[in-house]
Chain A
């Protein structure tokens, strides 16, 4: 097969072609490595690419096939791995100076499961430092461009992963979603991205930002591929106490089924109005009409506490991060600054942290330290936890009447690089619609629903379902995808300047 044909295949098709011997894992891997070499200079999706290691993994898959071993659906399929997951054979930095060059002695559970599924890790993708941001501009190693328009942000924090998949540098990528860090980049890059139920995918080996919110999830160019990847790395992990000991919801089956007949769909009333781009709302409304035409029963639902979600999030996430990031102290690994034999340990710690952390990370550490301080705890962290409980109740109440909730994934399409770097509040608003699902821990997925007429950039539709009902988000996503593809006469991504 020609290289261009190979990278145009879906992950599911590519896996099948490898299993059937129409191509090999090595051939597929080499095609993607060539693509990375050709375009990543423009995109900067990767922080680290290891061609030799990738080809070696690919050869191992081909060897297993030659021995007659039964290969899984994604065996031999290349993947881009967010640099927040530890990898034994590659540096892991979370895009921070403080971890530059650190080589972990162990694999994250997600990494282990990717390897076990035969996925070929091409390299590690760029991100906002410690996953704090919505544009990937907070990376210590430079920004990533949106393949739809390289002057714009690819979303964040998993912007390297979304850009890699959108630029056809990989058919699949991993991400982590703490406040929208998978769904928002998926939306602005025209991809499918899922935030599984919290505890449905393991955090072991995921460098923590906010422990009660961080959730690993998949990026793909279509719903079925996302489901296959979701299934490959999810499921109970005894090394993560918050991991749920239950079977992975049947997401692949749901993605294949893709029907919404009789399904009750709720539109969240609070996610519209001021701050929402007209074209985003227009494409969202059209998509909801499509669902209705497919037999879904659409109603409007009110979740009043969602209005407080952003505020609660910006107390809880910084509080947890202020403690989680305390371990970066120059004593055992990573950067060490100012250790010239005259300085105390405290001074070396302070200098290292001053030099090693970027401004957004420092802002959140300071915010969180303040929110947890004695005398302020109840007013800030305490009230935020109460809001969190109210948000869960709003979800519970809504799910008594509807099967899924839908909203725009993000209020606007991709904004220009540099536009919001000096305005943290504007940056934080990008996650307005995605944060409630993190606070409540339930399942959510973003699926493309068209290009905004005013700027021709992708718009995402978010589907939210109850805890462990991830399969419903895939069912709705797949139904919408099929219907819209018919309307568009093909994949949305085919219209991107970086389409192959």
Chain B
């Protein structure tokens, strides 16, 4: 659709408060925790993986040319109207069910009114006092020196809304709006469906607060992935976290003033942001100061946060029910159908594989930390023994992922291919060393394991004629060793096996070679 849009030029100073983050005094983390108890709150936005946008039929693919996935509705052309994406509602209900929430039988969308150039209507369609899902919980596990500890995170609500467009600031040194010459807006993201998941205040986590926050986001990410409602690529911004932190004196009952650190975009950053804010708040409070209720921005490079706009003069969003939309009213039957069709959720899956695969706490933790459970499970499903599957994913493949700086799941090898490599080793068609070369070939895009074996000529030499020739040559070349074996020193066979392996450039089946040597020399096995 041709529309009059594109690089809507904007002036430079839309918003910017004085950056006061620079002069923060940080208190040593342990000292801070000795005197204060942190209270956390997390608001997480998940971009849904629906094919079309929340209120129109535009495509949602990431990385398209700017302003090509737009239409009268998501550009808010005069006269256009939103229509709710049913798949997005279904995704929201499913996440709500997976988070043990109550699902509203009737709820409405509301308009959140504020002016900003990346929001075409100058209001965001969201939900306000009638969220679709309420009052749930998510259990998360944190490793401590005393062993794993479980925390129950209470969920306040899950609601549906739409994303905004994306503003880029051109000119100026920082890429931020301050000092920029002009700004351009890409509306491809405007109207992409979002779910916002809001926790209730998280208390009594003590010095584990940063780890609890991280574990919660990690668990939520796994849950969303297991439901298949989003691919949750944090680096593409499809899961974004706002971290609220406040401190109260130990033994106190009244919560402190909170700060809200926006758009924290990795698990590690969530942990660091909580830790930093605890130390910063403690510094302010120790000095007898008052924490400013404000929005802050996390600085990836330094691990610190800097002040954004102050919320002291609170925005009035003038929420009211969106009259362009009809209420969402999921029937009880439909909700129960969706509940019955939920897949196995990550916590249950962990319990199951721990039992089925006979794992210790530590082994399970290693799998969880490597984000490898699903990969191993899929490899097992493709026929591999769990021990071998774990070994491959946690050792060789984790190493490769680290080398290439990608997530394990992003390696260009499938669990089925890994299972095939494992099977080839088990059949004796590959040695472990050859198997690693096959994996290297698969990762290099040379095809399936069997194609790599074929193309690189990596098959173990195990047919008796070829191997027999090599064995005969080894015996002939080492008459003294052969004599010792004939005399009953079976252990000396190792030297001849070594010679056979050398002659076949490692491709021989060592066990079969040994067997042939002993047969030839009448030494039995």
Indicate with 1 or 0, residue by residue over B1-42, a CB within 8 angstroms of chain A CB atoms.
111110011111110000000000000000000000000000
When the two chains form the complex, which single residue of B3, B4, B122 contacts A327, counting CB atoms closer than 8 Å? B122
Complex Cα distance, B81 from A206, in Å, reads: 9
The CB with the most chain A CB atoms within 10 A, among B12, B76, B78, B185, is that of B78
Residues 306-349 of A contacting B (Cβ, < 8 Å)? 319-320, 322-323, 326-329, 331-333, 339, 341-349
The segment out of A29-37, A104-112, A275-283, A448-456 that lies at the interface is A104-112
**B121 pairs with A327, CB closer than 8 A:** yes
- Contact call B81/A372, Cβ cutoff below 8 A: no
A23 to chain B: which residues have CB within 8 Å?
none
Q: Which residues of B contact A372 (CB under 8 A)?
A: 113, 318-320
Indicate whether A203 reaches chain B with its CB closer than 8 angstroms.
Answer: yes
- Secondary structure at chain A's binding surface: helix, strand, loop or mixed? loop
What CA separation (Å) do A483 and B16 show in the bound complex?
Answer: 70
Chain B 322-348 interface mask (CB, 8 Å, partner A; 1/0): 011110000000000000000000000
Docked complex Cα distance between A349 and B9 (Å): 12
Give Cα distance in the complex from A108 to B185, angstroms.
27
Contact, CB under 8 Å: B326 / A242: yes
Write the chain B residue with the least CB distance to A319: B320
- The answer to whether A331 and B320 touch (CB under 8 A), given A204-B81, A345-B14, is no
The answer to whether A323 and B320 have CB atoms under 8 Å apart is yes
* CB atoms of B14 and A332 under 8 A apart: no
Q: Is B75 an interface residue (CB 8 A)?
A: yes
Given contacts A319-B320, A323-B111, A105 and B79 within 8 Å (CB-CB): no
Q: Kindly provide the distance from the CB of A348 to the nearest chain B CB, expressed in whole angstroms.
A: 6
Q: Given the known A-B contacts A104-B77, A205-B80, A326-B121, are A344 and B323 also in contact in the complex, defined by CB atoms under 8 Å?
A: no
Interface string of B291-318 (1 = CB under 8 A from A): 0000000000000000000000000101
CB of B115 within 8 Å of the partner chain = yes
Q: Residue A373 at the B interface, CB < 8 A?
A: yes
**A165 vs chain B, min Cβ distance (A):** 23
A222 at interface, CB cutoff 8 A: no
Question: Which residue among A242, A327, A374 has the maximum number of chain B CB atoms within 10 Å of its CB?
Answer: A327
Report if B120 contacts A (CB, 8 A): yes
Select one of B13, B76, B77 contacting A344, CB under 8 A. Answer: B13
Q: Whose C-beta in chain A lies nearest to the C-beta of B4?
A: A333
CB of B84 within 8 Å of the partner chain: yes
Contacts of B13 in A (CB 8 A): 344, 346
Task: State whether B318 touches A374 (Cβ < 8 A).
Answer: yes
From residue B107, how far is it (CB to closest CB) to chain A in Å? 15
- List residues of chain A with CB within 8 A of the CB of B14: 344-346
**Minimal Cβ-Cβ distance residue in A for B75:** A332
Q: How many A-B residue pairs have CB under 8 A?
A: 132
B357 to chain A minimum Cβ distance, whole angstroms, is 50
Contact at A207–B316, with CB atoms within 8 Å? no
Interface 1/0 per residue, B121-161 and A, CB below 8 Å: 11100000000000000000000000000000000000000
- For A343, the chain B residues whose CB sits under 8 A away are 11
What count of chain B residues pass the 8 Å CB interface test? 41
B117 within 8 A of A: yes
Q: Which of B316, B319, B320, B324 contacts A241 (CB under 8 A)?
A: B324
The answer for the CA separation of A203 and B77 in the assembled complex, in Å, is 13
Contact B11 A323 (CB under 8 A): no
Contact (A207, B113) CB under 8 Å given A105-B3, A241-B325, A372-B318: no
A105 touches B113 (CB 8 A): no
In this assembly, does A212 line the interface, its C-beta being within 8 Å of a C-beta of chain B?
yes
Chain A CB within 8 A of B183 CB? yes
Type the 1/0 row for B97-121, where 1 means its CB is closer than 8 Å to any CB of A.
Answer: 0000000000000010101010011
Whether B326 pairs with A323 at a CB distance below 8 angstroms is no
Q: Are B10 and A377 within 8 A (Cβ)?
A: no
Cβ contact within 8 Å between A327 and B79: no
Interchain CB contact (< 8 A) of B83 among A239, A320, A369: A239
Q: Are B81 and A239 in contact (CB under 8 A)?
A: yes
Q: What residues on B are CB-neighbors of A204 within 8 Å?
A: 79-81
B10→A345 contact, CB < 8 A: yes
Of A94, A105, A203, A207, the residue contacting B1 (CB under 8 A) is: A105
Contact for A323 among B9, B80, B318, CB less than 8 A? B318
Do B12 and A344 touch (CB < 8 A)? yes
A428 to chain B: which residues have CB within 8 Å?
A: none
Contacting pair B4 A106 (CB below 8 A) = no
A347 to B80 Cα, complex, angstroms? 26
Most chain B CB neighbours (cut-off 10 Å) among A106, A206, A345: A345
Asked if A373 contacts B316 (CB within 8 A), the reply is: yes
A329: chain B residues at CB < 8 Å are 115, 117, 122
Most B CB within 10 A of own CB, among A102, A344, A369: A344
Asked whether, in the complex, the Cβ of A345 is within 8 Å of the Cβ of B117, the reply is: yes
Nearest B residue to A103, CB-CB: B4
In-complex Cβ contact of B79 among A207, A212, A323, A369 (8 A): A207
A331 surroundings in chain B (CB, below 8 A): 8, 10, 117, 120, 185
- The reply to whether A86 and B185 contact each other, CB–CB distance below 8 Å, is no
> Is the beta-carbon distance between B79 and A85 smaller than 8 angstroms?
yes
Smallest CB separation, B490 vs chain A (Å) = 83
CB atoms of B318 and A369 under 8 A apart: yes
A92: Cβ under 8 A from any B Cβ: yes
Contact present for B320 and A105 (CB under 8 Å) = no
Q: Is A482 an interface residue (CB 8 A)?
A: no
Bound-state Cα–Cα, A347 to B14, Å: 9
CA A116 – CA B258 in complex, angstroms?
A: 59
Is B81 a contact partner of A108 (Cβ separation < 8 A)? Answer: no
- Which of chain B's residues 337-391 have a Cβ closer than 8 Å to chain A? none
B323 & A211 in contact (Cβ 8 Å cutoff):
yes
Are B183 and A345 in contact (CB-based, < 8 A)? Answer: yes
* Proximity string of chain B (191-235) to chain A, C-beta cutoff 8 Å, 1 when within and 0 when not: 000000000000000000000000000000000000000000000
Binding site for B on A (CB under 8 A): 85-86, 92, 94, 99, 102, 104-106, 108, 203-208, 210-212, 238-242, 319-320, 322-323, 326-329, 331-333, 339, 341-349, 369, 372-374, 377, 381
Q: A105-B2, A372-B320 are in contact. List 16 more A-B contacts (CB 8 A).
A: A94-B78, A104-B79, A106-B77, A205-B80, A210-B323, A211-B324, A241-B81, A322-B113, A323-B320, A331-B8, A331-B117, A332-B5, A332-B8, A333-B5, A344-B11, A372-B113
Please list 24 pairs of residues, one from A and one from B, whose beta carbons are closer than 8 Å in the complex, sorted by A's number. Answer: A94-B78, A104-B78, A108-B79, A206-B79, A241-B325, A242-B324, A323-B111, A323-B318, A326-B121, A327-B76, A328-B78, A331-B10, A331-B117, A331-B120, A331-B185, A332-B3, A332-B8, A332-B120, A339-B11, A344-B14, A372-B113, A373-B316, A373-B318, A377-B318
Task: Report which B residues bind A (CB closer than 8 A).
Answer: 1-5, 8-14, 72, 75-84, 111, 113, 115, 117, 120-123, 183, 185, 316, 318-320, 323-326
In the A-B complex, the 7 residue pairs with the smallest Cβ-Cβ separation, listed nearest first, are: A326-B122, A345-B10, A344-B11, A212-B323, A372-B318, A211-B323, A205-B79
